[in-house]
C-alpha cells in the first residue's frame, strides 16, 4: 500500500474537491487543514501501480493535479507502528527493498481522535517541542469531513534528534498519549519528497538517493 501526502496551500479554492473527485473509489482520502489554514490531502492507495497509472492518466488528459500543489508531495510504502515499553516498532514487518540510513530526516504521521474544539497548536507540549533541537515541523491538522479527527505531522532532522526528543518525553512522562487508542495510527518514514513530470514521479533535489524499485526514475 502507498501513503501519499499532497499539499494544496492556504488558498486551495476548488483544487482539493477537483482532485478528490478524480480518485478511484478504492482510495482512502481525507482533507486536513491546519490552524493557519494550510490544506493537505492524505491518501492511502492499495498499490503503487494504481497510483502511477492514475498520475499518468491525469497527465494524458491534460489535467495534472500536481500543478495545484503548494509544495512537493510525499510518497511512502505504508508502514504503521505501535510501541512496547516506549520503543516504536512496525505492527507488521514491512517488505521494503531499501535499508535507509540514519542520516535522513524522520517523518512521523500520527492520526487520532479528540474533541473537535481541541487547540493543540497552542498546547504547552507543542510549544516546548518546537523549541527542541532538530524539530523542523510539529503541526496539527483537523479533518474537514470529521472535526474530531486530527493529524499530527512531525519532521525531525535525523534519527538521533528524534530519539533525543522521544527519550525526553519518556523521562518527563509526557508522551503524546499514554496508551494508543485502537483508532489511532502512527507511521514513521525516512522523509522523501517527490515531483511529477510527464506523469512520472521522481525525487526532488532534496529527496532520497535510493527509492523502492516500484517508483520509476526519469530518463
Q: At 204, list the grid cell.
A: 526532488
* Chain segment 122-164, per-residue pLDDT in tens: 888 899 999 999 999 999 999 999 999 999 999 999 989 999 9
The string of pLDDT tens digits covering residues 76-127 is 999 998 888 778 888 886 555 545 556 789 999 999 999 988 889 888 889 9
**Is pLDDT above 50 for 217?**
no
pLDDT given for residue 94 in this prediction: 59
Domain span at residue 138 reads 2-93+100-203
In a domain, 14, yes or no: yes
Closest CA to 73 of 158, 155, 192: 192
Tally of domains within the chain: 1
E strands, the chain, are 2-9, 28-34, 39-45, 71-77, 80-84, 87-90, 106-113, 135-143, 149-156, 185-190, 193-197, 200-203
**Quick check: is 211 in a domain?**
no
Residue 144, domain member (yes or no):
yes
Distance CA 39, CA 5 (A): 11
Cell of 117: 474544539
Measured in whole angstroms, how far is the alpha carbon of residue 111 from the centre of its chain?
10
pLDDT digits (tens, 9 = 90+) for 16-44: 999 999 999 999 999 999 999 999 999 99
Beta-carbon contacts of 137 under 8 Å, excluding residues fewer than 6 positions away, are 153, 154, 155
In a domain, 124, yes or no: yes
Residue 71 lies in a domain: yes
Residues 6+ positions from 97 with CB-CB distance below 8 Å? 212, 213
C-alpha cell at 101: 540510513
On whether residue 217 sits in a domain, the answer given is: no
Query: Domain with 61 in it: what CATH number?
Result: 3.30.70.100
d(C-alpha 174, C-alpha 162), whole Å: 15
| Residue 179 maps to a domain | yes
Sign of the torsion formed by the C-alpha atoms of 10, 14, 15 and 18: positive
Runs of H (alpha helix) within the chain = 15-21, 48-60, 124-130, 159-172
* Within a domain: 208: no
CA dist 203 to 20, 73, 94, 212, Å?
23, 10, 21, 11
**What pLDDT sits at residue 180?**
66
Residues paired with residue 84 on neighbouring β-strands, in sequence order: 87
Q: What global pTM score does this model have?
A: 0.85
Amino acid at each position: 500500500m502507498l501513503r501519499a501526502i499532497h499539499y494544496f496551500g492556504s488558498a486551495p479554492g476548488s483544487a482539493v474537491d477537483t482532485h478528490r473527485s478524480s480518485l478511484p473509489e478504492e482510495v482512502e482520502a481525507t482533507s486536513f487543514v491546519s490552524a493557519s489554514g494550510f490544506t493537505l490531502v492524505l491518501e492511502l492507495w492499495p498499490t503503487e501501480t494504481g497510483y502511477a497509472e492514475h498520475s499518468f492518466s491525469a497527465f494524458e488528459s491534460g489535467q495534472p493535479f500536481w500543478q495545484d500543489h503548494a509544495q512537493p508531495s510525499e510518497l511512502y510504502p505504508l508502514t504503521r507502528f505501535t510501541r512496547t515499553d516506549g520503543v516504536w516498532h512496525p505492527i507488521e514487518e514491512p517488505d521494503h527493498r531499501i535499508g535507509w540510513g540514519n542520516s535522513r530526516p524522520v517523518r512521523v504521521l500520527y492520526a487520532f481522535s479528540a474533541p473537535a474544539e481541541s487547540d493543540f497548536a497552542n498546547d504547552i507540549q507543542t510549544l516546548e517541542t518546537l523549541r527542541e533541537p532538530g524539530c523542523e515541523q510539529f503541526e496539527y491538522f483537523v479533518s474537514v469531513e470529521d472535526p474530531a479527527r486530527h493529524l499530527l505531522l512531525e519532521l525531525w532532522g535525523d534519527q538521533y534528534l528524534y530519539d533525543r526528543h522521544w527519550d525526553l518525553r519518556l523521562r518527563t512522562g509526557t508522551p503524546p498519549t499514554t496508551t494508543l487508542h485502537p483508532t489511532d495510527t502512527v507511521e514513521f518514514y525516512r522523509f522523501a519528497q517527490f515531483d511529477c513530470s510527464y506523469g512520472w514521479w521522481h525525487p526532488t533535489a532534496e529527496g532520497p538517493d535510493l527509492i523502492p524499485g516500484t517508483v520509476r526514475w526519469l530518463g
